[in-house]
Amino acid sequence: MSKEKVVLAYSGGLDTTAIIPWLKENFGYDVICCCIDCGQGEELDGLDERAKLSGASKLYIENIVDEFADDFIMPCVKAGAVYENQYLLGTSMARPAIAKKLVEIARKEGAVAICHGATGKGNDQIRFELGIKALAPDIKIIAPWRMTDIWTMQSREDEIEYCKKHGIDLPFDTKHSYSRDRNLWHISHEGLELEDPSVEPNYDDLLVLSVSPEKAPDEPEYVTMTFEAGIPKTLNGKAMKVSEIITELNALGGKHGIGIIDIVENRVVGMKSRGVYETPGGTILMAAHQQLEELILDRATYEVKKEMGNKLAQVVYEGKWFTPLCEAIRAFVDVTQQYVTGEVKFKLYKGNIIKAGETSPYSLYSESLASFTTGDMYDHHDADGFITLFGLPLKVRAMKMLEHSKENQK
């Protein structure tokens, strides 16, 4: 009788390597490793050998960079979705994309379970598991770090020892460094001195994609981008797909110290955590998109869209990508993007994105209306009646309050 299969979200790191023999020992599963490439930039060579050496029966390496860019990043860019005013959702957007692929592989393999190595204190366990529940409610989820009765390893040393005991002797490092998550959109850093919010980050050791603004060039660099229906199409005159534009913007933004944030954020599980995020290309893309949108959206739509953007950021942060609410917000946003077409120009300089002009065939900006020499469409006298009516509730209230205070003085 063949063994039941489990699909393991596999990075090739120490945690997920130790999980392979642990799954076999405690559940008797046949372990299928699945490494999902969202643009980590890490070396994926040699993973096959490492997975097999660790006892996996098969390894999938799945490149989802374009799907991640088009189907997960762009809906958030179009919405202007930013969590707690700063975080551009780099990890939050990637987790549902990974969950979707894990489910696909599990279905293909006929697996009964999916296993992930996220800790019991973080947001990622929620994002992975909500994605899996929404797409495959029948598949069992295994989270070793929460199974403290049978997952007894507490440190990297414990995990290395466990691997050696099971015949896996790989060159893993015992030293604790920053806990990082990298993909096409960003890299996050937690741990070490960042665990104390009173300590300044050691940017010289920490930064991977960027230089600090102090070390950025002394000359600004101009960039031009075009959009069609909210989607970026060209960068400096060259047509590229979204993932290529983000890659190119990462290089430009990193060079000029763009998009480095140090934030204490509220995790879904109820605690605050401090992290540093580098999102050079994403910060530029979001700013360029907003720069164009200002010309095109009317005030009422823009106002509601800001609310929807904040709501989408919360929904995505909480791992609720595959929900009716997320779908409905994205549908609203797509309607707002129909005419977000045009060109923006800006310059990058020492951590700043400075506007340098924008044009759109759908611009609602009218020079004749906005200038001091207004034409037939706007008569200054019309403002009299408008202000009278617009200010009427304030005036009535003030009169009533005055009346009331006079009565009291009698």
Q: Which residues are catalytic?
A: 15, 95, 124, 179
Within 10 angstroms of residue 127's Cβ, the number of other Cβ atoms is: 27
User: Encoding tokens for residue 131?
Assistant: 């994605």
Q: Give the residue among 81, 114, 58 at the shortest CA–CA distance from 310.
A: 81
Give the 3-state secondary structure of residue 176.
coil
8 Å CB contact between 215 and 203: no
Give the 3-state secondary structure of residue 105.
helix
Amino acid at 54: S
Amino acid at 317: Y
Residue with tokens 């990193």: 254
8 Å CB contact between 222 and 256: no
CA angle, 46 then 168 then 159, to 5°? 105
8 Å CB contact between 49 and 195: no
CA distance 347 to 320: 36
CA distance 111 to 359: 52
What pairing do the DSSP bridges indicate for beta strands 342-349 and 221-228? Answer: antiparallel
What pairing do the DSSP bridges indicate for beta strands 113-115 and 5-9? Answer: parallel
Query: Rounded to whole angstroms, what are the CA distances from 155 to 150, 160, 173, 246?
Result: 15, 9, 12, 36
Which DSSP string corresponds to 265-317? EE-TTS-EEEEEEE-HHHHHHHHHHHHHHHHHS-HHHHHHHHHHHHHHHHHHH
Burial code of 292-308, b = ≥16 C-beta within 10 A, e = fewer? bbebbbeeeeeeebeeb
Q: Cβ-count burial of 410 within 10 angstroms (0-12 exposed, 13-18 middle, 19+ buried)?
A: exposed
DSSP state of 145: G
Give the 3-state secondary structure of residue 340.
coil
